[in-house]
Amino acid sequence: MNYPKLLKKGDTIGVCAPSSGVAPYLHKVLDHAIANVTGLGYQVIVTDSVRHDEKMVSADAKTRAKEFMELYTKEEVRAIIPPYGGEFLMDMLVHLDFELLKRLEPKWVCGYSDITTLLFPLTLQCNIATLHGSNFMSMGFKEIHSSDLFLFDILSKEKSVQISSDYFGDFVNFGDETSQVYCLDKKTRIIALGCEEPITFSGRIIGGCMDVLCPLIGTKYANLNLFQNNYQADGFIWTLESCEMNATQIYRALWQMRENNWFKHCNGILLGRPRGYAPQQDFTIGDALRLAFQDLDIPILFGCDIGHIPPQMQLVNGAYAIVECENGKMKITQELK
């Protein structure tokens, strides 16, 4: 696994918008994020298209790819953190030079939601570790929440430990940079499906947002074979979350992944809290998970701090991890080895 250099104070973080851009009413949040991250001791550069948003993208596909490649080839840029996700990152993939990316010194690329569409191919095709975690705009409020602040911690250390949250919730007001970013008022409890606690398992992390992962199936951007073959001795931990999927859609997505052998050599699965979820008639999330994972005989942990319902853990695709779960709490240790 090719790990980028560890991030240190004084390094430059690049912000580009490979999917949606930042609409004018959110420019103050972006400015506040830049100020907050600069205050942590990092340099920040922002590409031209970040402050534009039309037809749900920051710019045309070629421009978005060009701005990403320009950041990636800048020697001083050590990490790239998009403002947030969106809908159509996939249409810029054809304009990325993956062969060049393989040869270049690796950089940290971070984010979640539609940013999965970029992280997943980078890890699979280029064998580069990527980070499924906080987006840049989450840094743009009164203060950076500890869960988002941990992004900088995990990028600067070869080994890290995270414990599941005590409480989860939602954004307070995404357009108000003067407020706290989250209201966390619901008790977090990790649910172990089909196995008894205490639970321990390990493997290489891989995963992301199912809404945008599944459209990649069958394309050259989601060829898991080499990755699975290279690290099958370690086994894998899938980290999955969803946004806007109902119960039947979650089942279809997991079924599709399983039928394409994505869970081969899998030692365990971490499932985030599904945002925008609803049952379909009497078919629930429990039914979806039961049908999708029947006979797999591996630990499945549901309700994890992954994805669209904050807070979220910072998870490195490609890192070796050990997961421990007991009494509704989860601990994950990640090593860049």
pLDDT tens digits in sequence order for the chain, 337 residues long: 999 999 999 999 999 999 999 999 999 999 999 999 999 999 999 999 999 999 999 999 999 999 999 999 999 999 999 999 999 999 999 999 999 999 999 999 999 999 999 999 999 999 999 999 999 999 999 999 999 999 999 999 999 999 999 999 999 999 999 999 999 999 999 999 978 889 999 999 999 999 999 999 999 999 999 999 999 999 999 999 999 999 999 999 999 999 999 999 999 999 999 999 999 999 999 999 999 999 899 999 999 999 999 999 999 999 999 999 999 999 999 999 9
Cα distance between the two ends of the chain: 7
For residues 291 and 227, membership in a common domain is answered with yes
Residue range(s) defining the domain that contains residue 288: 167-335
Active site residue 113: yes
Cβ-in-10-Å burial (0-12, 13-18, 19+) of 43 comes to middle
Catalytic residue among 113, 134, 164, 242: 113
The predicted structure's pLDDT at residue 196: 85
For residues 172 and 151, membership in a common domain is answered with no
Distance CA 257, CA 293 (A): 11
Amino acid identity at 294: Q
φ and ψ at residue 146, rounded to 5 degrees: -55, -35
Catalytic residue among 32, 132, 145, 308: 308
Instruction: Give the CA distances from residue 74 to residues 34, 67, 80, 90, in Å, rounded to whole numbers and listed in that order.
Output: 19, 11, 11, 23
For residues 79 and 192, membership in a common domain is answered with no
Examine the fold and report which residue of 158, 179, 214 is the final residue of a domain before the chain moves on: 158
For residues 133 and 195, membership in a common domain is answered with no
Distance CA 128, CA 207 (A): 14
DSSP structure class, residue 53: -
* Residue 310 forms part of a structural domain: yes
* Residue 276 forms part of a structural domain: yes
The predicted structure's pLDDT at residue 176: 93
Tell me the CATH number at 138.
Answer: 3.40.50.10740
The predicted structure's pLDDT at residue 195: 82
Active site residue 143: no
Dihedral in degrees, nearest 10, Cα atoms 92, 97, 99, 105: -100
Catalytic residue among 67, 145, 177, 241: 241
For residues 146 and 240, membership in a common domain is answered with no
Distance CA 32, CA 325 (A): 37
Tell me the CATH number at 238.
Answer: 3.50.30.60
How many domains does the structure of the chain reveal?
A: 2
The predicted structure's pLDDT at residue 194: 77
Q: At CB < 8 A and 24+ separation, what contacts does 123-126 make?
A: 123/206, 123/227, 123/317, 123/318, 124/221, 124/222, 124/223, 124/224, 124/226, 124/227, 125/98, 125/220, 125/221, 125/223, 126/2, 126/98, 126/101, 126/102
Active site residue 241: yes
The predicted structure's pLDDT at residue 269: 98
Nearest to 135 by CA among 308, 304, 10: 308
For residues 171 and 154, membership in a common domain is answered with no
φ and ψ at residue 314, rounded to 5 degrees: -100, 115
DSSP structure class, residue 276: T
The predicted structure's pLDDT at residue 281: 95
